[in-house]
Amino acid sequence: MNFYNYLAGLDLRGAAYLITPLIASILFLLGLRGLSRAESAHRGMRLAAFGMLIAVVGTLLSRSIVSYEWILGGLVVGTVIGIPMGLWIPMTKMPERIALSHSFGGLAVALVGVAQYFNYYRQLGPFDAGAVSFEVLLGTITFTGSLMAFGKLMGVLPGRPQTFTGQNAMNLGILAAALAIIVILIVRPDQQVLFYTLVSIGLLLGVLLVVRIGGPDMPVVICLLNSYAGLAAAATGFALNNPVLIVCGALDGGSGFILALIMSKAMNRSFQNVIFGAFGATVQQKCEGEFCSLTPREGTPDDAAELLKFANSIIVVPGYGMAVAQAQHAVRDLADLLEKSGADVKYAIHPVAGRMPGHMNVLLAEANVSYDQLYELDAINDDFQRTDVSIVVGANDVVNPAAKNMPGSPIFGMPILNVDQSKAVIVLKRSMNPGFAGIENQLFTSPHTMMVFGDAKKTLAKIAAAMKN
Amino acid sequence: MECSSFIILFYIFALSIFAGYQVISRVPQLLHTPLMAFTNAISGISLVASLIVAGEGLNTVSSLLGAVAVAAASINVVGGFLITDRMLKMFKKRGSSRP
């Protein structure tokens, strides 16, 4: 086709359909760049939201859309559900919220793929067939996998990993079968039975891959599902010949993958370990070493307040327990008191503290903690030895010295916060039960450590009250 | 789809991965949760594909599938941007009233 004739033949509608994906893609990239600093993040988000509006309007102007009733119905339902999901879900429920929305993303992509196949299976070329197949496989895995993750995070499904022998081999076998079906579909796209078998396999695989994952490994899984959701959207772009879907899907897929890598590195897990999800099995570890026979030193909130009165430098180490107890505001109240009496308060955030990347940062930000007080592991780890008191709020594995000095431990080699080096440690914990990984924590029995048992929120309030007297 | 257009689409994919890596690897740990909410919102771009399926008017089955897909994707777009907005407003520095 002659290029100039093509351009001359474009009306406003055609031109809009041609140019909006490009504008939208640029705005998405600019938006992501804004997230590199807290100051510019909000502006970046607005740019991306504007980009999304442009992409949607451009699509609505497309000539292939002939009726708007179904579209309108879907948009109304989606908006009615989306607004409360955006405005009213508490920050402590963010991991659940994110997992659930990944499942919606997977569902949308899978449904589009099925509809495409249903309408065009007689005319699909090999590339289209491959794209549609990957689209539905990734979409369905994301859909059921994210629902499983959501159920586990909500506590509806058992949080402990469900494992049985031969599980890995079985999963790999099913995955191989799915890939074989895709190859056949590329050669013979009209094999309907195979296509719908592929849909069922995807749904099954999502369940099987996540059922064996335990709670503390959720950050990695959520990142991986984020990545799958993105790749599924990119496959849709290939199937529909639509560049903006490819750009967005690649950004989303890449982001999830990078986060999964950061998380797995922070847990000292190998890459294969992450991809095959072959982790999270409970390992019962017998305690060895000098502190094991010791009983922990237990203190009351008053004892803790007494210790804190004479501290000049304090580091707070939050963990998932802080989210469970919703203690972020109580933490901030205590920190305010300490700062008022002249102490220096910092927060040390381990990359895998909580159930998703950055979970602790968001909770503390919600409690109005200034973000220049939140430190990453590398930035603060040398400060612990100069710190008077570290307060551990519901964190366990990320402060366990076994990661440094017990070569047999399942978490050996994992980068941890050097809480054990500070002059004194106060640990707020519900009970002496070992953490999710079932590993004894030497920090709790160390002579420098005072354990204060009970609900973290109530304990913090009691300490603050005792400080005031 | 022709082989040549597949290759062009693949170039777009590879370049986006590269560009995405450049910007995403600069996002600090502080903002990783907002990053996930944000990418979740823009992954609602599958709304674009859903709109076409729902509005093509080929048959009731595909229109229905499309409409459900539109609903699911728009939940992510609307909910995703709203929650990212809410979250980013919380990140404040001492002494500044603006996020």
How confident is the model at residue A467, as a pLDDT? Answer: 87
Residue A41 included in any domain = yes
Tens-level pLDDT at each residue, chain B (99 residues): 778 888 999 999 999 999 999 999 999 999 999 999 999 999 999 999 999 999 988 899 999 999 999 999 999 999 999 999 999 999 988 765 444
**ipTM value:** 0.93
Q: Residues of A with CB below 8 A from B1's CB?
A: 125, 127-128, 131, 238, 241
**Residues of chain A found within 8 Å of residue B63, distances taken between Cβ atoms:** 67, 70
* Domain end among A241, A275, A309: A275
Question: What does the alpha-carbon distance between residue A176 and residue A263 come to, in Å, rounded to a whole number?
Answer: 27
What average pLDDT does chain A have? 87
Residue in chain A closest to B25 (alpha carbons) equals A258
Same domain as A270, residue A306:
no
Same domain flag for A321 and A401: yes
How far is the alpha carbon of A370 from chain B, nearest alpha carbon, in Å? 5
Select from A77, A127, A245 the Cβ nearest to the Cβ of B49.
Answer: A245
Last residue within a domain, chosen from A275, A292, A322: A275
- Kindly state whether residue A426 falls inside one of the protein's structural domains: yes
Contact B82 A242 (CB under 8 A): no
pLDDT tens-digit profile of A315-345? 999 998 898 889 999 999 999 999 998 999 9
Whether B3 maps to a domain, the answer reads no
Q: Say yes or no: A133 and A25 in one domain.
A: no
In a domain, B12, yes or no: no
A271 shares its domain with A331: no
Q: Which of B43, B44, B61 is facing A118, going by the closest CB pair?
A: B61
Q: Is residue B60 part of a domain?
A: yes
Chain B: closest CA distance from residue A251 (Å): 5
The residues, ordered by sequence, that sit 6+ positions from A121 with a Cβ below 8 Å of its Cβ are A189, A190, A192, A195
Note whether A330 and A390 are same-domain residues.
yes
- Whether residues A118 and A204 share a domain: the answer is yes
Model confidence at A283, in pLDDT bands (50, 70, 90)? very low
- H/E stretch holding A186 reads helix A167-187
A307: domain CATH number? Answer: 3.40.50.1220
Beta-carbon count within 10 A of B47 CB:
33
| Distance between start and end Cα atoms, chain A | 84
- φ, ψ of residue A413 to 5 degrees: the values are 95, -15
pLDDT at res. B97: 47
Helices of type H across chain B: 3-24, 32-42, 46-55, 60-90
Q: Which residue in A128, A252, A383, A397 is the catalytic one?
A: A397
Is the pLDDT at A282 greater than 80? The verdict is: no
**A253 is in which domain, residue-wise?**
92-275
Confirm whether B53 is domain-assigned. yes
Residues of B in contact with A102 (CB under 8 A): 40
Q: pTM for this one?
A: 0.89
CA distance B3 to chain A (A): 7
Q: Which residues of B touch A89 (CB under 8 A)?
A: 83
Q: Is A292 domain-assigned?
A: no
State whether residue A163 is helix, strand or coil: coil
Q: What is the pLDDT of residues A62-91, one digit of tens each?
A: 888 888 999 999 999 999 999 999 999 988
Q: Are residues A47 and A124 in the same domain?
A: no
| Model pLDDT for residues A153-164, shown as the tens digit of each residue | 888 887 777 777
- A336 tagged catalytic: no
Tally of domains in chain A: 3
Residues A119, B62: C-beta atoms closer than 8 Å: yes
Cα distance between residue A464 and residue A333, in whole Å: 7
Across the interface, whether the CB atoms of B31 and A250 are under 8 A apart is answered no
How many Cβ pairs within 8 Å bridge chains A and B? 374
Q: Is pLDDT of A271 > 80?
A: no
Residue A72: inside a domain: no
**Residues A398, A444 within the same domain:** yes
Shared domain for A110 and A214, answered yes or no, is: yes
> B-chain residues within 8 Å CB-CB of A109?
46, 49, 69
**Is residue B33, in this structure, part of any structural domain at all?**
yes
Count up the domains in chain B and report the number: 1
Spatial contact of A327 and A393, defined as CB atoms under 8 Å apart: yes
- pLDDT, tens digit, 9 for 90 and up, residues B30-53: 999 999 999 999 999 999 999 999
A433 pLDDT tier (thresholds 50, 70, 90) = low
Interface contact flag, A111 B12, Cβ < 8 Å: no
In chain A, residues with a C-beta closer than 8 Å to the C-beta of B78 are: 78-79, 82-83, 85-86
Q: Does the beta-carbon distance from A55 to B45 stay under 8 Å?
A: yes
Residue B17 lies inside a defined structural domain of this protein: no
pLDDT of residue A280: 45
Kindly report the length of chain A. 469
Domain, as residue range, for B75: 29-90
Whether residues A62 and A98 share a domain: the answer is no
Which of A220-224, A405-409, B73-77, B94-98 has the weakest average pLDDT?
Answer: B94-98
Tell whether B76 is covered by a domain.
Answer: yes
Rounded to whole angstroms, how far apart are CA atoms B46 and B55? 14
The residues, ordered by sequence, that sit 6+ positions from A327 with a Cβ below 8 Å of its Cβ are A321, A393, A394, A456, A457, A460
| Chain A nearest C-alpha distance from B69 (Å) | 4
Is residue A290 assigned to a domain?
A: no
Is residue A81, in this structure, part of any structural domain at all?
Answer: no
The identity of residue B76, as a single letter, is: N
- For residue A349, report the phi and psi dihedrals to the nearest 5 degrees: -110, 115
Q: Are residues A319 and A439 in the same domain?
A: yes
Q: What mean pLDDT do residues A380-395 have?
A: 92
Chain B: residue nearest A256 by CA?
A: B36
Across the interface, whether the CB atoms of B89 and A370 are under 8 A apart is answered: no
Task: Give yes or no: residues A48 and A143 share one domain.
Answer: no
